[in-house]
């Protein structure tokens, strides 16, 4: 390489590692894509030997990285060459899928794993642009294509994409991805959680082909203040996007409206219609919506509804609704491990419906897109949650930025889903000034980005005026949320179930109340006295007594007990009972219903 060339190469590496991914492309779910799922090669690299040299300097920031840098996919050219790795001789791993479930050596692994996929690529049109899309990768991801760094992504549950038009070739592309799932004190989530830290390329990887000037993003929802008005925006991406025509078509409503883009390739839409059929839990009407520009077109299925609160009520399409919910972790009820497929989503939501739910809390991080797409079709309301969990580094600016970025990517992905009614900022966070500033700022950011949904967070309850028999919510952040949600474990972490009969509630905020969690551990098939921990009878009794207690909260507008299915958690080590599982599920991990399932089902039948 000449000096000038190597300097350019060096600059490309540096800039691409500072600027991370490109603006997110909306509706990848319905676009023309090529899957990169399937077999990938992998190298386990606990010392990050393929990333740093022996002075602990990253290879991808060096002018002439050594051949030992894994992203180069080096091969010896003659027998004298020293290359101490070879992707092609490694074993296969399935993408999508967490690594912990695929190799016994990786069950508890937290560190770096390198992935490699080789592929050929033929575009449909020589002028097309190409993007590489990751639906999720936990936690820190460095992406390289054909020896060039595309960028870095932080956060384990949201999508990101990179433009690769100038890098992709017809033959022998090699895509190398470094994924590191080490937990970090300043991370989101942080060191301490009650769930398994599944690592890897946990969701689909796709190539997206687009026109040179294409519809990158759109937001099309009902105006929350005028239910005869569909509003939002469309954004084109390309070099020639000013003064272009963009059409919005909703054939069933005879809507076909044309707009002209501004200099940024942006239109604001404002469509009036008197006869919109609203999306609801009883009739989840979705319209085919087509967005068209001269060069591109994308089609989505969108529902139109309003959601708001008035005093202590939640109103869906102006009618009060009680949220009959259940909390869910993203674990596959079919194969175990991190869930990611349409079948996983179908199974989880079918069980929720059999329980009688019209609502699910997707805890404690963004779940895969199948969940909200299916919820849209089935008429299930959804709470989506940012992984701000327990005690994070509230004072750290990068931590805030990270939380905002993850939430932003979630909103970008799901802002057109009618089922999603609540953005949850956090779970069980301490009432300290730095946290109040952090969450208030995050809430303001969210409201500015999306004014068609409600804001909440799972808060904590406390004694009222020092009286342990009267419980309340005293938290300045409660003033900020639209829905006052809190977790409570009276009868499990706080006494026995009968304690529920002694507790009363004094909630002073004029807001709807949602109980985001309650529950008790029970091992499926273990029977005994109702005061014996871990028996199904204990859990059953706790549900009976808790539901009776909660009925006395005046403002209560819904519950999402903890949790649909037992889930993996390394915190839960009690032999023969937990064995690495949190046992608060209403069902065991293999889908067997515990007695409490039927208590809740009966309760929901009558609601």
Kindly tell me which of 388 and 549 has the beta carbon lying closer to ligand GCB.
388
100 binds ligand GCB (CB under 6 A): no
In terms of CB distance, is 174 or 486 closer to ligand GCB? 486
Residue 499 DSSP one-character state: G
Q: How far is the CB of 550 from ligand GCB (least distance, A)?
A: 16
CB of 176 closer than 8 Å to CB of 70: yes
Decide if 100 contacts 198 (C-beta within 8 A).
yes
Q: Kindly report the backbone phi and psi dihedral angles of residue 378, in degrees, each rounded to the nearest multiple of 5, phi listed first.
A: -85, -15
Q: Residues 153, 413, 584, 595: which binds ligand GCB (CB under 6 A)?
A: 584
Which C-beta is closer to ligand GCB: that of 65 or that of 387?
Answer: 387
Residue window 337-366: x/- pattern of binding to ligand GCB, with contact defined by CB under 6 A: ---------------------------x--
Q: Which of 27, 216, 427, 461 binds ligand GCB (CB under 6 A)?
A: 427
Does residue number 562 form part of the binding site for ligand GCB (CB under 6 A)?
Answer: yes
- Tell me whether residue 181 or residue 487 sits nearer to ligand GCB (CB atom): 487
The DSSP result for 367-431, as a single string, is: PPHHHHHHHHHHT-EEEEE---BSS--TT-HHHHHHHHHHHHHHHHHHTT-TTEEEEEEEES---
Question: Could you say which DSSP state residue 435 is in?
Answer: H
- Which residue number is nearest to ligand GCB in terms of Cβ? 194
Question: If you write DSSP's letter for every residue of 71-89 in order, what string do you get?
Answer: GG----SSTT------GGG
Encoding tokens for residue 374?
């299916």
- Answer yes or no: are the C-beta atoms of 195 and 183 closer than 8 Å: no
> Which of 421, 555, 391, 366 has the alpha carbon at shortest distance from 478?
555
CB of 57 to ligand GCB, least distance (A): 39
Specify the residue, 394 or 562, whose C-beta has the smaller distance to ligand GCB. Answer: 562
- Contact with ligand GCB (CB under 6 A): which of 101, 138, 190, 582? 582
Interface of this chain with ligand GCB, residues 48 to 87, rule: CB under 6 A: none
Q: Which of 82, 434, 136 is nearest to 74 (CA)?
A: 82
Pick from 285, 301, 160, 229: nearest CA to 452: 229
- 196 or 423, CB closer to ligand GCB? 196
CA 29/CA 25 separation, integer angstroms? 10
The H-or-E segment that residue 250 falls in is strand 245-250
Q: Which of residues 508-537 bind ligand GCB (CB under 6 A)?
A: 517
Judge whether 160 and 21 are in contact, CB under 8 Å: yes
Work out how close the CB of 542 gets to ligand GCB at its nearest, in angstroms, rounded to a whole number: 13
Q: CB of 181: closest distance to ligand GCB in angstroms?
A: 18
H-type alpha helices, 455-566: 536-550
Task: Give the contact letters, 486-505, x = binds to ligand GCB (CB under 6 A), - = no.
Answer: -x------------------
Min CB(482)–ligand GCB separation in Å: 20
The site for ligand GCB, by CB under 6 A, has a size of: 9
The answer to the question of residue 330 lying near ligand GCB (CB under 6 A) is no
d(CA 319, CA 520): 33
SS3 for 497?
A: helix
Buried b (16+ CB within 10 A) or exposed e, 394-427: beeeebbebbbbbbbbbbbbbbbbbbbbbbbbbb
Q: Which two tokens stand for residue 550?
A: 């909660």
Least Cβ distance, residue 327 to ligand GCB (angstroms): 8
Cβ-based nearer residue to ligand GCB, 151 or 585: 585
Q: How far is the CB of 365 from ligand GCB (least distance, A)?
A: 11
CB of 78 to ligand GCB, least distance (A): 56
- Smallest distance, Å, CB 461 to ligand GCB? 11
Of 428, 450, 482, 537, the residue at the interface with ligand GCB (CB under 6 A) is: 428
Nearer to ligand GCB, 216 or 427 (CB): 427
Minimum Å distance from CB 428 to ligand GCB? 5
Instruction: Name which of residues 366 to 385 contact ligand GCB (CB under 6 A).
Output: none
Task: Give residues 174-213 in contact with ligand GCB (rule: CB under 6 A).
Answer: 194
Minimal distance in Å, beta carbon 584 to ligand GCB? 5
**Parallel, antiparallel, or unpaired for β 140-145 and 173-180?**
antiparallel
User: Where does this chain bind ligand GCB (CB under 6 A)?
Assistant: 194, 364, 427-428, 487, 517, 562, 582, 584
């Amino acid at each position: 390489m000449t000096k000038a060339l190597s300097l350019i190469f060096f600059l490309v590496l540096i800039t691409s590692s500072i600027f991370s991914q490109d603006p997110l492309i909306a509706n990848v779910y319905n676009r023309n894509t090529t899957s990169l799922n399937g077999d990938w090669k992998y190298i386990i690299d606990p010392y990050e030997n393929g990333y740093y040299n022996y002075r602990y300097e990253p290879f991808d920031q060096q002018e002439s990285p050594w051949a030992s840098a894994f992203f180069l996919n080096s091969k010896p050219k003659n027998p004298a060459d020293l290359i101490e790795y070879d992707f092609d001789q490694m074993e296969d791993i399935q993408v999508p899928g967490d690594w912990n479930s695929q190799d016994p050596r990786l069950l508890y692994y937290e560190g770096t794993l390198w992935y490699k996929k080789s592929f050929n690529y033929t575009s449909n049109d020589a002028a097309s642009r190409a993007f590489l899309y990751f639906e999720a990768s936990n936690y820190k991801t460095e992406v390289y294509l054909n020896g060039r760094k595309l960028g870095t992504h932080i956060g384990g549950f949201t999508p990101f994409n990179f433009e690769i038009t100038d890098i992709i070739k017809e033959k022998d592309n090699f895509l190398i991805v470094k994924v590191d799932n080490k937990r970090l004190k300043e991370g989101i989530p942080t060191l301490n959680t009650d769930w398994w830290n599944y690592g890897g390329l946990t969701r689909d990887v796709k190539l997206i082909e687009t026109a040179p000037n294409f519809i990158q993003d759109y937001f099309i929802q009902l105006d929350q203040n005028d239910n005869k008005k569909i509003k939002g925006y469309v954004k084109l991406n390309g070099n020639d996007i000013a003064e272009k025509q963009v059409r919005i078509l909703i054939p069933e409503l005879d809507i076909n409206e044309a707009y002209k883009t501004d200099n940024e390739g942006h239109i604001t839409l404002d469509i009036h219609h008197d006869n919109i059929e609203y999306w609801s839990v009883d009739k989840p009407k979705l319209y085919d919506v087509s967005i068209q520009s001269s060069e591109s077109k994308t089609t989505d299925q969108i529902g139109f509804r309003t959601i708001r609160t008035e005093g202590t009520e939640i109103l869906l399409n102006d009618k009060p609704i009680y949220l009959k919910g259940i909390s869910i972790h993203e674990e596959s009820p079919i194969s175990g491990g991190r869930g990611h497929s349409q079948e996983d989503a179908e199974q989880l939501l079918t069980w929720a419906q059999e329980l009688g739910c019209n609502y699910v809390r997707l805890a404690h991080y963004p779940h895969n897109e199948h969940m909200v797409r299916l919820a849209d079709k089935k008429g299930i309301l959804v709470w989506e949650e940012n992984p701000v969990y327990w005690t994070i580094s509230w004072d750290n600016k990068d931590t805030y930025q990270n939380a905002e970025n993850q939430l932003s990517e979630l909103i970008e992905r799901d802002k057109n889903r009618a089922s999603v009614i609540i953005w949850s900022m956090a779970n069980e966070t301490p009432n300290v000034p730095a946290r109040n500033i952090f969450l208030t700022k995050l809430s303001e950011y969210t409201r500015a980005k999306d004014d068609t949904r409600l804001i909440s967070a799972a808060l904590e309850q406390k004694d009222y005026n020092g009286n342990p028999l009267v419980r309340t919510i005293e938290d300045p952040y409660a003033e900020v949320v639209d829905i006052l949600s809190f977790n409570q474990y009276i009868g499990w972490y706080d006494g026995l179930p009968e304690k529920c009969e002694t507790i009363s509630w004094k909630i002073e905020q004029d807001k709807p109340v949602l109980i985001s969690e309650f529950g008790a551990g029970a091992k499926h098939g273990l029977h005994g006295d109702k005061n014996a921990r871990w028996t199904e009878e204990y859990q059953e009794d706790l549900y009976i007594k808790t539901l009776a207690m909660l009925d006395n909260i005046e403002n209560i507008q819904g519950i999402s007990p903890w949790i649909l299915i037992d889930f993996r958690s390394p915190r839960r080590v009690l032999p023969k009972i937990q064995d690495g599982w949190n046992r608060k599920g209403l069902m065991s991990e293999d889908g067997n219903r515990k007695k409490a399932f039927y208590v809740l089902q009966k309760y929901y039948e009558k609601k």
